[in-house]
Structure 1
């Protein structure tokens, strides 16, 4: 064994042997993840806000204005798969930092495409920019690697709350960045991507410099130690594996369904409001409340998921989304208050589903396969969001906004039998 390998084993063993060092690293990891998420949220929101407008401006038509959102989503889905696999092999630090830095390069490409009026470069760059979005979502798992079972949902919620600061700041800096861009001879709509590039690159550098020792590598070593200590019989191990597979299916189903329902109704609400005479200010207010409800309740949700249980909060997610769909379907088109309440409930139901589903995935995976599984699940979430957004327009065209909202509410009820199925033959251990 080489000197380097001995040193590597020694530092890792020092964490395995010391619960105090593990908790210290857990708190440090959460702090670093929070820092990266604040910047990552700003980069994500700034780009999404003006991507469609930039394409519209460069093409001179709004026929293809939906392409940037689709490219971002597909880029995010592909990157989620890669980040999960790279993280599994080399650790969270390399996987997440690589995703953010790639997203930053994509943002630089968008700026260059705006200066040169190259639409093909714009579309290619938006695809690459999606990697930053994937890292932003997967970073929530890094804070959970060293969390005790009863801390997991709370750790996820801390990462999500920190994303809010950037996500709220990003769109509000669009005008400022637009004026700054013009002052240095760049088209105004490329301005927010200057912020996006700086934010993603900074988030990547923070993780690259400070996310060490790597939480996933330490979690893997801890899991290996537990297997040696407990050395279970083969029958017991295979029984646990079945429970884990079921937990992964249930966690993924919860997150995919909530993503479809939330994205489809959210996508068509601005269109519905515009058709009924609401201005951009009112649309911005409703979507602002919606985004706030998606992230701000996270800390409370995390504590509830840890204390009340994953199952109860997944059922609460289905019930909240049903209430949102029924209210959005029945609210008079001129009632701002009811639309705000409906979209806030929609965000809250999504929040319940994402945090309870994420906690279930972490509960049901071994660190040796966890990052790869999480990456695959995040691909499904990204594709569910893209499908929900794309199909929502068709549903409204065939029926109405009320028809879409009602259908979304009914679809969310599937969560309840899925959760009951998960409890049927072999009860998944509930953390409470």
Structure 2
């Protein structure tokens, strides 16, 4: 693999931006295909968990397992990228996720809840790979275009991820045609999309952007011998040390982690809230029951999650343009301001599906702004030799925040309701806004004399 990359890079090293453009196209196409998998999981994961476990208390288990697995595998995937390049890491994550989608189908056939959780864990590797793909988009990007490049790859997941929740009904038909439980049908599409995405990256991501960027810096062996290649506790400790040494990196990390935690907590409980709002609890239905929730509820849930995911990804190019044009810190403020508005709308409008859906759209927009601006700021705030490791730390902590958010969301919702869950998310977003605002003001003041 490295021999091929070296030979290819020799012919293209004089044209890194040509390689960058091709890299963004390939990553974007792969994100589009793999997005179907995440969309299906978000839309029916909580319903499957309740059906197979027989209790609403397990509603957040699928999302929690996925996000926790993504957190635990982010650093190993970053280490693999440092040693063998982005292609090896991304393909490994997507193939694992494809296996996870197959296990989810098996779980619906057998009614085995542990198999469902194992499948969700492997799907989490796909989430980790998709998160890492956004950083692969900036390995070769010019500083003034980093936000745009990152945003294009984030945006590319829109079509697949928005389609995922709306594949519930078509998936039911496919499932029935294959002799499977109808609710497992969307994961048939997930399996195909993940397989095609892995194949596309394996063939098309050449030369590897991370390895080529290192060669262009004149340090071809740095990723393999430096901190990037370290594993486990040492990798996490070294990554956090690099973040602590850069104040802007600390703020960037806080922005993306908090945004992801708020989003995961509210989003993971919204399908169950909508189902309880319209029909009542699902507990007690047998595993794999085709009508555990009515078609109308499935349509409402799919529509709401689709619009939420559209909010997360559809305007990503706009967020990337704003990040490059207005600045990283103002867009971080915009993101957490939108999250604050979103959870207030969804929380205080919890009895109205229209307001809940509106809140979820705003939540997606806030996540998009905070994640794109924060990730861009993080990538440029640390030394090149530490960049991949710090990015792995970022994805790990995002996964932990998502797992904690979705894991405790069910307990919080049981105790203080959907509105209380949203108000807790509002407190987190307000805290980050309060930290970022003084930094943005200081940054603007420091640039005004130069501008004058």
TM range (shorter): 0.7 to 0.9
Once the two structures are superposed, the pairs formed by residues 221-300 of structure 1 within 5 Å of their partners are: 221-224=215-218, 245-277=246-278, 280=297, 281-300=299-318
Q: Against the structure 1 CA distance between its residues 265 and 206, is the aligned structure 2 distance closer, same or farther, given a 3 Å change threshold?
A: same
Say whether 1:418 aligns with 2:432. Answer: no
SS at 2:218 equivalent: helix
Partner of 2:309, secondary structure, is helix
Q: Per-residue displacement from partner, 1:217-256 (whole Å, max 9, x unpaired)?
A: 1111223379xxxxxxxxxxxxxx7896323222110011
Name the counterpart of 1:301. 319
Superposed CA offset, 1:66-103 (max 9, x none) = 32222222222222222111011110010101110111
Report whether the alignment pairs 1:317 with 2:335: yes
Question: Is contact 1:261-1:408 (8 Å) kept?
Answer: yes
* 2:388 counterpart of 1:371: yes
Indicate if the aligned counterparts of 2:346 and 2:357 stay in contact, CA closer than 8 A.
no
Structure 1 residues 88 and 68 mapped into 2: Cα distance closer, same or farther (>3 Å)? same
- Of 68, 72, 76, 1:74 maps to 68
Q: 1:387 is matched with which residue?
A: 404
Aligned counterparts of 1:307 and 1:48: Cα–Cα separation in 2: 33
SS in 2 for 1:144: coil
State whether residues 265 and 405 of structure 1, in contact with CA within 8 Å, keep that contact through their aligned partners in structure 2.
Answer: yes
Match of residue 184, structure 1, among 148, 173, 178: 178
Alignment correspondent of 2:289: none
The alpha carbon displacement at 1:292 in A equals 1.6
Separation (CA, whole Å) in 2 of partners of 1:395 and 1:372: 34
Q: How many residues align?
A: 409
Q: 1:368 to 1:77 in 2, by over 3 A?
A: same
SS of the aligned residue for 1:333 comes to: coil
> What's the CA shift for 1:370?
2.1
Contact 1:243 1:428 survives alignment (8 Å): no
**Contact map agreement 1:26 1:215 (CA 8 A) in 2:** yes
* Structure-to-structure mapping, 1:157-196, within 5 angstroms: 157-196=151-190
* Contact preservation (8 Å) 1:96, 1:135: yes
Unaligned residue ranges in structure 1 (runs of 5+):
227-240
Q: Which moved more, 1:174-183 or 1:50-59?
A: 50-59
1:176-230 per-residue CA deviation (whole Å, 9 max, x = no partner) reads 233223323333333222222221121111111110100001111223379xxxx
Alignment-derived partner of residue 233 in structure 1:
none
2:49, 2:58 within 8 Å by CA — same for their partners in 1? yes
How far residue 9 of structure 1 moved from its aligned partner, in angstroms, is 5.7
Q: Does the CA contact (< 8 Å) of 2:175 and 2:181 recur in 1?
A: yes
| Alpha-carbon distance in 1 for matches of 2:126, 2:267 | 22
CA 1:92/1:394 → structure 2, altered by over 3 Å: closer, same or farther? Answer: same
**2:361 paired with 1:344:** yes
Q: CA deviation at 1:8?
A: 6.7
Do the aligned partners of 1:321 and 1:412 also contact (CA within 8 Å) in 2?
yes
**259-268 or 95-104: bigger deviation:** 259-268
What is the TM-score when the length of structure 1 is the normalising length?
A: 0.84
Kept in 2: contact 1:273–1:333 (CA 8 A): no
Equivalence for 2:123: 129
For 2:88 and 2:164, how far apart are their aligned partners in 1?
25
Cα distance, 1:419–1:270 mapped onto 2, change above 3 Å: same
TM-score, normalisation: structure 2:
0.81
Cα RMSD (Å): 3.1
Q: Distance in 1 between matches of 2:5 and 2:333?
A: 45
**Aligned in 2, Cα 1:54/1:316: closer, same or farther, shift over 3 Å?**
closer
Q: Single out whichever of 151-160 and 268-277 deviates more from structure 2.
A: 268-277
1:40 aligns to what? 34
- 1:353 equivalenced with 2:354 (yes/no): no
CA drift of 1:23 comes to: 0.8
